[in-house]
Structure 1
Amino acid sequence: MPDNDIAVPEPGVSFVMPVLNERAYLEHAIQSVLAQELPVAAELVLALGPSTDGTTELARRLAADDDRIQLVDNPAAHIPVGLNAAIRASRFATIVRVDAHSELSPGYAARALETLDRTGAANVGGVMRADGRTPFQKAVARLYNSPVGLGGGAYHGGTHEGEAESAYLGVMRREVLDAVGLFDETIRRGEDWELNLRIRQAGHLVWFDPSLSVTYWPRESWVRLARQFRATGAWRGELVRRFGRRNGIRFFAPPALVILVAVAVVVGVLQLSGVLSGALSAILSAIAYLPLLAYVLLVVAVAALPGGGGIRQRLWTLLVMPTMHLSWGLGFLGGVLRGARDTVDASRLGTRNTPLP
């Protein structure tokens, strides 16, 4: 809820970044923030979770070297809790959310301020441009940037500027954030979508500007990717429980795929056991197997298309694409049926990443 004792923010930009086990990416992310050229004062507030890979020590060293960096604690390690702590500790009128696993493009913040002024929007976001270092990470990044990977949301490759449902990261007016009550700390994933829903319900505009670009580095291993997508799917299921049809139809495609796989397995078992035969077996086979065959052909086509990289990246694509969809779908069904409860994204816990070059 809004805090009536919040001081009037000063003109300027406060970048806020939740951080947990990001030693391999943190310095590059911070450099991309501090390199932003702005006509107003700026600061960077890091919300430090209980990292185990040396991230906290690195953050303290960087803060000691630059007085624009502030540190706040986020012992719960939850993203919305950390974001709120950083926002409350900030002092400027514009809030720019930054991910420690991302890098802002040159001119990002200045362009976003111009778009805020031009459109009168309360929140402005741009394009997430995923990138990778290894064949695995490159395969994941390619699917992030493709409509068949993450469902075609505007910030995964949209080219037309305009009003949006949500915003990737987001450049936000502090007065609007204070009015709607900051991030909902009971939501562990999808907190940005829910915040933007409240912003729009309050009569404000959320805006997509494709000229704004952020480089995002996906998870580095198959296990971490599966954990991330399962957690994200579970919280989307929770959001469906809470907000129903306000969720876009694209969110229901992965759980439909999971259900289809389950139906195909049941049909196959019944056929092998002799319970199903004849015309009924043929009808159920067409219902269960043909859509799955079409999906398999789609996965193969995506891996084989130009731009798919070398052979290792293409082979990873064959595994990564169904992993993303099925993990997300399984998480979604669990979230819808029983709620997300205490589901967290465990893909950042105890991580040991290879430093960026």
Structure 2
Amino acid sequence: MGQPATTHPGVSFVMPVYNEAAYIDDAIESVLAQQYPGERELVVVLGPSTDGTTEKVQSRAAADARIRIVENPQLSIPLGLNLGIRAAAHEVIVRVDAHTEIEPDYTAIGVATLQRTGAASVGGLMVATGRGRLQSAVARAYNHRLGLGGGAYHGAASEGPAESAYLGIMRREALVAVGLYDEGLKRGEDWELNLRLRDAGHLVWLDPALRVTYWPRSTWAKLARQFHATGIWRGELVRRLGGRNPLRYFAPPALVVSLALSAVLLVLQLTGVVAGLPSLLLSVVHLGPALYLLVLLALLVVPSSGPRFADRFTFARVIAVMHVSWGAGFVRGFVLGARDAVDTSRIES
């Protein structure tokens, strides 16, 4: 007979880190404060930061034997995650990010759900949080159906089988069996990994009792760069996997294409190149951008967009930046491929 299942298996938290000086201490504290009786370690996969993050992590590791450092000079998140998983000492892998904080009972709930369901990957809800007007507006957009297209882990959801798992509490054996994260991807690695887990017959599970505080980008430039890079890699995934991508991912690129066509047609109409009946018939191209503008205007009067007009205006701008940046990136990635595109939103500028 085999040994009975361990009630509290050892857990290795794997955290890729690069230029997160403003958030890294709180992220590490949330991991060390876990109310979980099993053995624990935190593997920090450290990129060559330039903002003091490296020194903070080294100081924490010198003071606490539960923290180990693995160097990640190439800055690739999937590569870094794989380095961390290979270096991990325990059978349960909990992915955490330096921009996140987990509740004290997160690990205990997640491991219990992993054992109860037999899943290979369990995830919870991303609860975006912000400081100041812009980051708070970005957080509202993350949590809003218009912002990120209604993915289950961005809002209210019921427990059950899922398409993907945010961050993930995972069985190391299953990860190794499917080849770990795809190191050829720079974004979208979670979704693609969970797709391979499901294809291999494993269960991916959403448990809304798991809540993760996420701190989004806090400047316009970083927000645009992050979403542009994410869109590029989603376009690359569509090139690779075609229709296996959910339909919601096609909405932002459709918006960008309609905006471009509308702009070209408007110039042709204003210059008289297109006139008369053809102009009238082709004007249907303007319908999409006009409807989108109405949606943005509607956000200015919706209380959930912010208590004051300035907050609602910022929220509407955030939604537009997310959609257009992501959609433009998707078109580029789908047409040209992702090539070596990277997310530069953590680079100080």
TM-score tier after normalising by the smaller chain length: over 0.9
* Letter aligned with residue 289 of structure 1: H
Local SS of the residue matching 1:18: strand
Distance of 2:343 and 2:31 partners within structure 1: 25
Distance of 1:175 and 1:318 partners within structure 2: 44
RMSD, aligned CA: 1.2
Local SS of the residue matching 2:303: coil
Aligned to 2:290: 293
1:338 Cα deviation (Å)?
A: 1.0
- Structure 2 counterparts to residues 199-214 of structure 1, below 5 A: 199-214=197-212
Aligned to 1:20: 18
Structure 1 counterpart of 2:301, from 304, 308, 317:
304
- Structure 2 counterparts to residues 176-255 of structure 1, below 5 A: 176-255=174-253
* TM-score w.r.t. length of structure 1: 0.93
- Stretches (4+) displaced over 4 A: none
* Letter aligned with residue 136 of structure 1: L
1:106 Cα deviation (Å)?
A: 2.4
Structure 2 counterpart of 1:264, from 256, 262, 265:
262
1:40 Cα deviation (Å)?
A: 0.7
Indicate if the aligned counterparts of 2:300 and 2:309 stay in contact, CA closer than 8 A. no
* Letter aligned with residue 281 of structure 1: S
Distance of 2:28 and 2:310 partners within structure 1: 32
Mapped pair 1:156 → 2:187? no
1:192-220 deviations in Å (ceiling 9; x for gaps): 11111110111000001111100111101
Aligned to 1:119: 117
Aligned to 2:5: none
Distance of 2:153 and 2:230 partners within structure 1: 17
Aligned to 2:318: 320
Aligned residue pairs total 341
1:181 Cα deviation (Å)?
A: 1.1
1:42 Cα deviation (Å)?
A: 0.6
* TM-score w.r.t. length of structure 2: 0.95
Distance of 2:237 and 2:157 partners within structure 1: 27
Q: Which has the higher contact order (CA 8 A, sep 6+)?
A: 1
* Letter aligned with residue 297 of structure 1: L
* Letter aligned with residue 105 of structure 1: E
Mapped pair 1:61 → 2:67? no
1:301 Cα deviation (Å)?
A: 1.8
* Letter aligned with residue 303 of structure 2: P
Local SS of the residue matching 1:142: helix
1:343 Cα deviation (Å)?
A: 0.3
Local SS of the residue matching 1:252: helix
Distance of 2:142 and 2:314 partners within structure 1: 14
Distance of 1:62 and 1:296 partners within structure 2: 49
1:7-53 deviations in Å (ceiling 9; x for gaps): xxx93000000000000000001111111111211110000001000
1:294 Cα deviation (Å)?
A: 1.3
* Letter aligned with residue 297 of structure 2: V
* Aligned sequence identity (%): 59
Query: Structure 1: any 5+ residue segments left out of the alignment?
Result: 1-9, 352-357
1:74-97 deviations in Å (ceiling 9; x for gaps): 000110111111111110010000
Distance of 2:209 and 2:296 partners within structure 1: 30
